[in-house]
Amino acid sequence: MTTIITTTQKKPCFKCDKGGGVFTCDGCQQSFCRKHSDEHRQELAVQMDTIGQECDALQRDINKNTDINSFLSHIDEWEQESIDRIQQAAHQARVDLNELFKKSREKMTTIVAQLTNELQFSRTSEDYTELDFKKWAVQLNELRYDLEQSISTCPFDNDDQNSIIHLIKVKIPRELCPWTEPIRTFNQNPILINHEKFNKKDQQIALSENDLTATYFGDDLHRSVNVFGFHQYLNGTHHIRFQIKKKANETFFIGIVTYSQMDPSSVFFTTAINGWWLDSYWISNGRSRGKQCMSDILEGDEIILTLDCNQRRIYLAHPRTKTLLQIRIDDKKCPLPWKIVVGLGGIGNCIRIIN
């Protein structure tokens, strides 16, 4: 009987590749002879020291608080700036509140004085009827309502409801801002036209942006070129907003003419023209009336033309300079309905209707 003896071949040393490996590392799964086994353990010990040093360094960095100082300084700066803004807002709110009550008193005092004069005149001349009594009663009721509202309504507003810090400010009613709503009359239904556009025009005017923008592009005719609005205005109050897109060396005319006027080029030869050359003078019933104009008109400025058909008046407001002008219209010379007319005084002038 033959006996077969099998032998297991030993792994060589990972370092010297000689002899049989004596130790196998559980970490790297490599075999080492005795000599290189000791070296391998020393290498592991060095790596342990390195890891320990990095851990200690990280802990030292965690313990450091020098970097937080810059963030704390930022918070201090924000705090001071917020306090300054709050103080400025509070100061401005006080100023605006005093101005609001002053304007409100002046407005109501003026209206009451006008009503008193009307009553005295009607009493003296014995010119009154039941219809006048109804009108005066309505006016007095509206004045009483306005007075009660001005006392009971909170005049404050916050700039940002979602903000942690609400900067208080005073709400100014529209009727006390003449450059945004020129006049308020009794027994009137205001109408705000938001779809005006340009219509019939001189040939030297180019219309663009769905007829909202008018530009003087043609020959120098030594006169203005003119363009009419599309809508006719018969009653109520209408606000038309313009923006000065491009201002050449010459100015703009903004006003009205009777709707039956068909020729833009001859519009200034009729008694039905009323309005303003912005930087020079005004025209009433076809005649120049001296200097009532808006100075300091800049490109980008907004101009608001208001047509009060019921009271036969037109107004021109310049919000940036808070300027308000008005003209009383003779409806015999400029019969209703009206339409707007814009004159472009120089080549390159451009104006846009804001809807």
Residues 233 and 100 in one domain: no
Instruction: Look at residue 72 and tell me if it is in a domain.
Output: no
For the chain, give the mean pLDDT: 80
What residues contact residue 346 under an 8 Å CB cut-off, 6+ apart?
A: 216, 248, 249, 250, 251
Residues 22-75 pLDDT 10s: 778 888 888 888 788 888 888 888 888 888 888 888 888 777 755 677 777 888
Cβ–Cβ < 8 Å for 229, 196: yes
Residues 168 and 290 in one domain: no
Amino acid sitting at position 293: C
Residues 283-305 pLDDT 10s: 988 888 776 667 788 889 999 99
Residues 148 and 286 in one domain: no
Report pLDDT for 99: 83
Residues 262 and 231 in one domain: yes
Residues 52 and 105 in one domain: no
Instruction: Tell me the torsion sign for CA atoms 234, 239, 245, 249.
Output: positive
Report pLDDT for 27: 81
Instruction: Look at residue 135 and tell me if it is in a domain.
Output: yes
Report pLDDT for 242: 95
Which has the minimum average pLDDT: 86-90, 218-222, 274-278? 218-222
Residues 202 and 170 in one domain: no
Residues 198-251 pLDDT 10s: 999 988 999 999 999 999 987 776 678 999 999 999 988 889 999 999 988 778
Residues 166-192 pLDDT 10s: 666 656 555 545 444 443 433 343 444
Instruction: Look at residue 341 and tell me if it is in a domain.
Output: yes
Instruction: Look at residue 209 and tell me if it is in a domain.
Output: yes
Instruction: Look at residue 28 and tell me if it is in a domain.
Output: yes
Residues 225 and 323 in one domain: yes
Distance CA 229, CA 205 (A): 13
Residues 210 and 290 in one domain: yes
Half-sphere exposure in the Cβ direction for 105 (13 Å, CA):
6
Residues in the chain: 355
Residues 214 and 317 in one domain: yes
Cβ–Cβ < 8 Å for 279, 301: no
Structural domain boundaries enclosing 43: 23-60
Residues 348 and 257 in one domain: yes
Phi, psi of 344 (to 5 degrees): -105, 115
The b-or-e profile of 199-229 (16+ CB within 10 A means b, else e) is ebbbebbeeeeebbbbbbeeeeeeebbbbbb
Which has the minimum average pLDDT: 4-8, 58-62, 255-259? 4-8
How many structural domains comprise the chain? 3
Place of tokens 């807002």: 89
CATH of the domain at 272: 2.60.120.920
Instruction: Look at residue 85 and tell me if it is in a domain.
Output: no
Residues 347 and 241 in one domain: yes
Report pLDDT for 183: 39
> Taking the complete model, does pTM exceed 0.75, yes or no?
no
